[in-house]
């Protein structure tokens, strides 16, 4: 892959990540968070964050993962169980 193709792919993945965050968390996504995402240059890190954004039950957990930086990851445990969060919120409305 040529450098300009790689840069284009990274830019598209950044945009995908931002759109996913906006779909999941709406107005909670701050300009500061967006600026941090725009500074990412690692394809692997952006792909990891797309998975985290899709599975994190809230923006705070996503932000923690964003600040972790590069490296290996495992998305495990109840922190990444969006169904659990939905059930808790649903139980609050049922009361």
pLDDT averages per 10-residue partition of the chain, 95 residues: 72 95 93 95 91 90 85 65 62 55
Tell me if 85 sits within 8 A of 58, measured CB to CB: yes
Q: What is the pLDDT of residue 67?
A: 87
Say what the pLDDT of residue 4 is: 64
pLDDT at 86: 61
At residue 29, the pLDDT reads 94
Contact criterion met (CB below 8 Å) for 48 and 73: yes
């Amino acid at each position: 892959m040529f450098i300009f193709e790689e840069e284009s792919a990274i830019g598209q993945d950044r945009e995908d990540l931002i759109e996913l965050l906006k779909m999941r968390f709406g107005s909670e996504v701050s300009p500061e968070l967006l600026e941090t995402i725009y500074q990412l240059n690692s394809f692997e890190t952006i792909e990891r964050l797309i998975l985290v954004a899709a599975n994190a039950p809230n923006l705070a957990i996503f932000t923690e993962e964003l600040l972790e930086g590069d490296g290996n990851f495992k998305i495990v445990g109840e922190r990444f169980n969006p169904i659990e969060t939905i059930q808790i919120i649903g139980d609050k409305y049922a009361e």
